[in-house]
Amino acid sequence: MANVVVVGAQWGDEGKGKIVDWLSERADVIARFQGGHNAGHTLVIDGEVFKLHALPSGVVRGGKLSVIGNGVVLDPWHLVTEIETIRAQGVEITPETLMIAENTPLILPLHGELDRARESQNSVAKIGTTGRGIGPAYEDKVGRRVVRVADLADPATLATRVDRLLIHHGALRRGLGLPEVDRDGLIAALSEVAPKILPYAAPVWKVLNEKKSEGRRILFEGAQGALLDIDFGTYPFVTSSNVIAGQAATGTGIGPGSIDFVLGIVKAYTTRVGEGPFPTELFDEDGQRLGERGHEFGTTTGRKRRCGWFDAVLVRQTCATSGVNGIALTKLDVLDGFEELKICTGYELDGRMLDHLPTAADQQARVTPVYETMTGWSDSTAGARSWADLPGEAIKYVRRIEELIRCPVALLSTSPEREDTILVTDPFAD
């Protein structure tokens, strides 16, 4: 039985939610393994829109087990609200259908405050974070002072954890001119939210390993995109977690050998939210048209996404670092009607040609893309459900992408709707 990892292969918002929802019909368990509610995954099912941030996209299909793994950072108050919102859309969420790893770190209000206070400092270049406390929570995890889900069960442990955390944050907050944290108020708030979270707490590593031995299929749902990875992304303009496929193992507690197929989600052009280098970014009418046709506004913050041509150099690189076996190419329909399309095939830097994005920040900011021009198509691909429905020029564009990134297309998406998806190779096939 195959277990599949889905990862974003660009800067996020590639359409992971739609593809995970589509694939989850074939899976028994859907597990998030990193990130938090900085993610925004949109699903459209028969015209109804579901926006998921902390919950795995699998919750929308009944009868599946959804899992929040230890690699995630979880804001318990946000989760309670998100569960209520999704329930109001008719989705059943119970401790039988949702499990949260007991060793998951919690995002507290002080993390969001710190995130936003740092972003508003004028002396340092902004990252353009979502302001949801993701970075500060991961810092505290690695700093061995974070409050975890299991700590909510015992008042004495909870108080000890909060005290340890506040020694560190007290000093930080004084430096930033933030008011002192009300210790007793924080403990009271955590004690109040605890009974709403604890029913879902479980030893996820054990449950997943048991499911695996029973031959159940696990679908791992990544958030963000490989270019936002803390190690391999455009540092420091990245998120604070490992985003690439290897994280699926450490972020849930299964061995790396349990991953049978890595599916990279790739948008047919490129977008980015927040600050940082973006070699193929467009500032002209083409860029505006991509943004308008693609409705490129952030699901989480509503910010306008920056848009540009497809960058094959970047995707070849991210397919390598995640060991991508096949890609799902999304939003091909957004390119309908362009007379010409450009694909970046390499970079030029100081008179030299590069076949990868350099690591040094100043070089990342200075590379200029080398383009190949392709003929566009006037027919529509929107809503296409088979290869036969695609115009010849669209097929050529897809084939050229496969060649340049050295990875085959397994799925193709032609609209936000669940069923407007073309299956080429089933990632779950044995």
Q: How far is the CB of 390 from ligand GDP (least distance, A)?
A: 13
Q: Which residues pair with 342 in a beta bridge?
A: 373
Size (the chain), residues = 430
Active site residue 41: yes
- Work out which of 4, 6, 7, 18 binds ligand GDP, going by CB under 6 A: 18
What distance in Å separates the CA atoms of residue 412 and residue 188, rounded to the nearest whole number?
49
What distance in Å separates the CA atoms of residue 288 and residue 281, rounded to the nearest whole number?
11
Q: How far is the CB of 16 from ligand GDP (least distance, A)?
A: 3
Q: Which is nearer to ligand IMO, 62 or 302 (CB)?
A: 302
What distance in Å separates the CA atoms of residue 293 and residue 331, rounded to the nearest whole number?
10
Q: Which residues pair with 29 in a beta bridge?
A: 65, 218
**Phi/psi zone of residue 46: left (φ > 0), alpha (ψ -120 to 50 degrees), beta?**
left
Residues 101-160 that bind ligand GDP (CB under 6 A): none
Query: Given 21, 37, 41, 420, which residue is catalytic?
Result: 41
Q: Which residues pair with 267 in a beta bridge?
A: 330
208 contact choice in ligand IMO, ligand GDP, Mg ion, none (CB below 5 to 8 Å, kind-dependent): none
Q: How far is the CB of 291 from ligand GDP (least distance, A)?
A: 12
Identify the helix (H) or strand (E) that includes residue 116. Answer: helix 109-119
What distance in Å separates the CA atoms of residue 412 and residue 19, rounded to the nearest whole number?
9
18 contact choice in ligand IMO, Mg ion, ligand GDP, none (CB below 5 to 8 Å, kind-dependent): ligand GDP
Does 307 contact ligand IMO by CB under 6 A? no
Binding-site size for ligand GDP (CB under 6 A) equals 22
Does 247 contact ligand IMO by CB under 6 A? no
414: nearest Cα among 343, 334, 338: 334
**Which residues touch 11 (CB under 8 Å, ≥6 apart)?**
225, 227, 228, 270, 271, 272, 273, 278
Sign for the CA dihedral angle at 353, 359, 361, 362 comes to negative
Q: Which residue has the tokens 């007793």?
A: 184
What distance in Å separates the CA atoms of residue 19 and residue 223, rounded to the nearest whole number?
12
Mask of contacts with ligand GDP, 303-342, x by CB under 6 A? ---------------------------xx-xx--------
- Work out which of 8, 58, 69, 427 binds ligand GDP, going by CB under 6 A: 8
Does 15 contact ligand GDP by CB under 6 A? yes
Binding-site size for ligand IMO (CB under 6 A) equals 24
40: nearest Cα among 48, 31, 51: 51
- Work out which of 133, 326, 416, 427 binds ligand GDP, going by CB under 6 A: 416
Given the rule CB under 6 A, which of 100-108, 128-136, 385-393, 422-430 is the region that contacts ligand IMO? 128-136
Q: Which residue has the tokens 């604070």?
A: 240
Q: How far is the CB of 118 from Mg ion (least distance, A)?
A: 23
Using CB under 6 A, list all residues that contact ligand IMO: 8, 11-13, 38-41, 127-130, 132, 134-135, 223-225, 228, 239-240, 273-274, 299
Catalytic positions are 13, 41
Using CB under 6 A, list all residues that contact ligand GDP: 8, 12-18, 40-42, 44, 295, 299, 330-331, 333-334, 413-416
